[in-house]
Structure 1
Amino acid sequence: MAPAPPPASVTALLARARAGDDAALDSAFLAVYEELKRAARLQLRRSRDAVDTTVLVHEAYLKLGGAQLAASDRNHLLALSARAMRQVLVDHARHAKAQKRGSGEDALTLTANLGVEAAAVVDVLALEDLLGRLQRIDPRAAQIVELRYFGGYSEPEIADMLGISGSTLSRDWRKARAFLFAALSA
């Protein structure tokens, strides 16, 4: 695997992209492409979603809006990409749920035996709802969950991306997990 490009080169490419250089935006994404694919693979492995890794990365890229992208540096680009992957997966889960509801099949009840795909849809949609609630309470904790779950990043990577200490990240991560556990147990 090729070493990650220096953050300064990605930052310079993003600055050129904001100035209107479309080729620079493509180059910035190519510079972090393998890292985005790694994050997508981790996410898809956890969610058991039917979306392909490459499709997820490319749809996230499209969702970011190309020339209107406001990423200021490599870490910001990775964080925005994790959010876009989350949105793609949520959209996919909502579509799958709507298809299931409107496909003429029997309605699922709370006691129904959910298949793997149905459980993944419920998981992604439930997490999306909980993240929205956590966002209103503690935006940074919600961002940490988003980067861990949807981005697949480690605690040290997230601390670096957010510019916070490892102990602050650990404290926020514990708080976020406690919130999610309490909400899921209720």
Structure 2
Amino acid sequence: MVDGAADEITQLLHAWAGGNADALPRLLAIVYPELRKIAARRLSGERPDHTLEPTGLVHEAYLRLAHRPDRHWENRTHFYAVAARVVRAVLVDHARSRGRIKRGSGAVSVELTEASAGVPPPAVDLLDLDAALQELEAIDATRARIVELRHFAGLSNEETAEALGISVSTVKRGWLAAKTWIRRRMEGQTRQP
């Protein structure tokens, strides 16, 4: 994203958090296309009969973001970091509401991917991924946040590093270690990350 647009997002976020209702429509016009791309990427690995569309995911995430009492985002990256948690929550809530509790019973599956990977890895069950992320968070909260930001918000390594206040190399190592740990956990092997 161009620095000017990132600066404008930051200014609009501050204005909105400060109570300027006129900032919200302007902010939405700028972030909606990016949120739509994130939603489309998250849903691209879904089964064909999945009932949640990217537009529905974005609208539900937007409603949850708009009604948060803690709308004091520092900048664009912080906003997308919060959006990652909201997108994850919407997807998990949707999977639960569809009654998909166990793997193999039509559960929602998603891909844990690199943003720029050419070959998609195998799909994983969203509810299992959420459970694994909760376990990982108890063991290593930073690595869990890296997965959340990279996977659910589609942030780059650099943006993830900025959002977490860590180095890009730490993000890369954490992303690789977290993906490995999650894969092992999903295969029934539990090891410390």
Q: TM-score, normalised by structure 1?
A: 0.80
Displacement after TM superposition at 1:153 (Å)? 2.9
| RMSD of equivalent CA atoms | 2.5
Tell me the residue number matched to 1:41: 40
Identity, % of aligned positions: 38
Tell me the residue number matched to 2:6: 7
SS at structure 1 position matched to 2:184:
helix
Displacement after TM superposition at 1:4 (Å)? 7.4
Tell me the residue number matched to 2:21: 22
SS at structure 1 position matched to 2:166:
coil
Tell me the residue number matched to 1:90: 92
Moved segments of 4+, more than 4 Å: 2-5
CA contact (8 A) 1:39 1:152 kept: yes
1:112-161 residue CA offsets vs partner (Å, 9 max, x unmatched): xx47x435398111111111111111111111111222223333332343
In proportion to residue count, which structure has more helix?
1
Runs of 5+ consecutive residues of structure 2 not aligned to the other structure: 111-123, 189-193
Change (3 A) 1:32 1:119: closer
C-alpha distance in 2 between matches for 1:143 and 1:13: 25
Count of residue pairs the alignment pairs up = 172
Q: Tell me which of the two structures has the higher relative contact order, counting C-alpha pairs closer than 8 angstroms and 6 or more residues apart.
A: 1
Tell me the residue number matched to 1:55: 56
Change (3 A) 1:162 1:29: farther
C-alpha distance in 2 between matches for 1:76 and 1:139: 17
Change (3 A) 1:3 1:53: farther
Tell me the residue number matched to 1:31: 30
C-alpha distance in 1 between matches for 2:27 and 2:96: 30
C-alpha distance in 2 between matches for 1:183 and 1:67: 32
Map 1:1-186 → 2, pairs under 5 A: 6-48=5-47, 49-66=50-67, 68=69, 69-97=71-99, 114=104, 117-118=106-107, 120=109, 123-186=125-188
Q: Which moved more, 1:73-82 or 1:163-172?
A: 163-172
Displacement after TM superposition at 1:33 (Å)? 1.3
Displacement after TM superposition at 1:90 (Å)? 0.4
Runs of 5+ consecutive residues of structure 1 not aligned to the other structure: 102-107
